[in-house]
Amino acid sequence: MTLAFNKMMQSSRWLSFAMLVALHFALWTGTESILMRPLLLVHLGLFLLWQPLWRGESQLRWSGALFIIVMSLSALFWLNWWILAFWESVLFALVGGRVFSFYARWQRLYYLLVMAYLLAILLLEVAPRLFGLPTLGEVIDAIMTYGLPLLLLAMALIPVEAEQPKSEQALDFIYIILLFALLTLLLLGSLAFMTLGKIDYLDALVRTLFIIAVILLALGGLWNPRQGFSGFQILFSRYLLSIGTPLEIWLQRLSEAAQREQDPETFLARANEYLAEMPWISGLTWVSDRGRGTLGTVTQHRIEMTDHDLSLTLFSHRSVSPTVLLHVRLLTKLLGHFYQAKRREMNLREITRLQTIYETGARLTHDLKNMLQSLMALTAVAREQPERAQPVLQRQLPVLTQRIELILAKLKAPQAQEDTAVLPLASWWSSFRQRHQHQHVGWHSPDNIGSQPVPIALFDCVADNLIDNAANKRMREPSITVTVTLVSEPFSLSISDTGSAIPSAVAHQLMNTIVSSEDGMGIGLYQVARWAAQSGYQLELSENTQGKVTFRISKAQ
């Protein structure tokens, strides 16, 4: 690909050189010669092969070819120095708009010499004959005979340097317009000085060049000033960003719609309504994975844009310019960005809602599991120790009934806030010991427990889960003992066993995520640990050694 591009660059280089040679011979023969028009026709043909306006391999339509032929024959039929001056200015502007796209040193030098050649032809050959200045005839003949051929020879000897493919067919139309305007101003300004000031051509040319240089110097200082003024650069950039599209107003309306509309499809429809109000848009259609829509009228001029799963087709009244096409891409990217953000917000809301339902259901499930285990324990006491069953049932059944009522209330109102009922620590400790007095657990607490309030639902869930896990572990290791220790200042509740240590891989993830286990240990601790953290407490595995495994809940630091 690079080799083919270099060959194309060499071909373009020699085509431009042959074009200049044909132009030189045509001007050297003069307008009265019968050879001038055929030479100019050759020059135009070489220009069409060299021209940087469109790709040479692109197919030219019959309408375009007919237009080129008619314009060329008309210019040759009515050929005069004004037409030649206009054509020289156009060539100079085209070469000047292309020279800034080359980074190779010899390529830039070659095109700079081409600009110098065209400028010399225009100012020293075409313009004097245009203004009817016979006094420069000898100077012009010497330049045409010796000076400009030497310049062409120097251009031919410049080596062809390889250029990067990214600079292929690069043109800056702003430079083209500015160079054409400056050259036209130079010629017309020289003519005005000659006519009004009654001075010769060279003096008028120098004065015009000086005035243009002063104006360009002033504009250069105002383009990016250093005295606090924003400068023409900011104004010009703001103008370019608003060509054909009221960008600032549309962005403001888009942001307002993004803040007001929560549903992605509603936001998309609203944003497309604002986009359809653009003056150059006749209609649009959009297709997403959740719907589609159409606004306005469909025309033959269409622009198709895609952003992830959003497809947008814009219809315009006429073919859009490259600048407007750039704005279309920018607007589509912004619209797609806001739309995808709305999609992500909706997904996050759904995930949050599902997570809330999941956590609430998991907590209620563990509460039910703990109460069923308490009922099973009471049933075992009533079956194995009938003489002790009556007072135990009288104390525990009202507590279980109250807990069942709380669970039923949560099931009836799942969106309600978590139960915040509190109980003095001493009362909760006494109830907790009575509920698990059949578990063969060692109890340790200070003489004066205190009356600080504790959340009943949280402490019941945490303590019941830890007691249940210790009981399941005792079934695998019958010789272990379980101890529950309460400390008032600073407050902490610890449940320990003398069994084997929890594997380090499981212990590391035990309360941070859901872990798999034969007896279910892991998901309950994960849920109660999150609940404790949300309530201002901390559940941790404080000790994990062989013969000493301790879980502790305490106030978060």
Q: Tell me: the pLDDT tens digits for 10-22?
A: 567 788 888 888 8
Of all residues in the chain, the percent with pLDDT exceeding 70 is 73
Average pLDDT, the chain: 76
Q: What is the pLDDT of residue 402?
A: 66
Q: What is the pLDDT of residue 41?
A: 82
Q: What mean pLDDT is predicted for residues 339-366?
A: 74
Q: What is the pLDDT of residue 464?
A: 81
pLDDT at 295 over 80: yes
Query: Residue 315's closest CA among 333, 303, 327, 330?
Result: 303
Q: Which of 278-292, 340-354, 405-419 has the lowest mean pLDDT?
A: 405-419
Residue 54: which pLDDT band, with cuts at 50, 70 and 90?
A: low
pLDDT at 8 over 60: no
DSSP 213-248: HHHHHHHHHHHS-SSS--HHHHHHHHHHHTSSS-HH
Q: What is the pLDDT of residue 198?
A: 82
Q: Tell me: the pLDDT tens digits for 113-138?
A: 888 888 888 888 888 877 777 656 67
Residue 168: which pLDDT band, with cuts at 50, 70 and 90?
A: very low
Q: What is the pLDDT of residue 521?
A: 47
Residue 393: which pLDDT band, with cuts at 50, 70 and 90?
A: low
pLDDT at 170 over 70: no
Q: Determine the Cα–Cα distance for residues 542 and 551; give it in Å rounded to an integer.
A: 6
pLDDT at 355 over 80: no
Which is more confidently placed, 540 or 385? Answer: 540
DSSP 285-333: EEEETTEEEEEE---SEEEEEEETTEEEEEEESSPPPHHHHHHHHHHHH
Q: What is the pLDDT of residue 165?
A: 41
pLDDT at 87 over 80: yes
Name the residue with tokens 């309950």: 524
Whole-model pTM? 0.45
Q: Tell me: the pLDDT tens digits for 92-101?
A: 888 887 776 6
Of all residues in the chain, the percent with pLDDT exceeding 90 is 0
Distant-in-sequence, close-in-space partners of 391: CB < 8 Å, separation ≥ 6: none
Which is more confidently placed, 263 or 413? Answer: 263
Q: How many CA atoms lie within 13 A of 547 on its CB side?
A: 0
Q: Tell me: the pLDDT tens digits for 471-520?
A: 888 888 888 888 999 888 888 889 899 888 888 877 777 777 766 655 55
Q: What is the pLDDT of residue 102?
A: 60
Q: What is the pLDDT of residue 229?
A: 56
Q: What is the pLDDT of residue 412?
A: 60
pLDDT at 454 over 60: yes
Q: What mean pLDDT is predicted for residues 147-154?
A: 84
pLDDT at 1 over 50: no
Q: What is the pLDDT of residue 392?
A: 64
Q: Tell me: the pLDDT tens digits for 174-219?
A: 778 888 888 888 888 888 888 888 888 888 888 888 998 888 888 7
Residue 281: which pLDDT band, with cuts at 50, 70 and 90?
A: confident
Q: What is the pLDDT of residue 166?
A: 42
Q: Classify 39 as helix, strand or coil.
A: helix
Q: Please, what's the b/e burial string for 506-519 (b: 16 or more CB within 10 A of its CB; e: otherwise)?
A: eeeebbeeebebee
Query: Residue 16's closest CA among 102, 129, 144, 79?
Result: 102
Q: What is the pLDDT of residue 86?
A: 87
Query: Residue 22's closest CA among 52, 45, 48, 55?
Result: 45
Q: What mean pLDDT is predicted for residues 226-250?
A: 59
pLDDT at 338 over 70: yes
Q: What is the pLDDT of residue 388?
A: 64
Q: What mean pLDDT is predicted for residues 39-53?
A: 78
Q: Determine the Cα–Cα distance for residues 496 and 491; give it in Å rounded to an integer.
A: 16
Q: What is the pLDDT of residue 197?
A: 81
Q: What is the pLDDT of residue 5?
A: 41
**Which domains does the chain carry?**
2-236 (no CATH), 242-350 (no CATH), 422-557 (3.30.565.10)
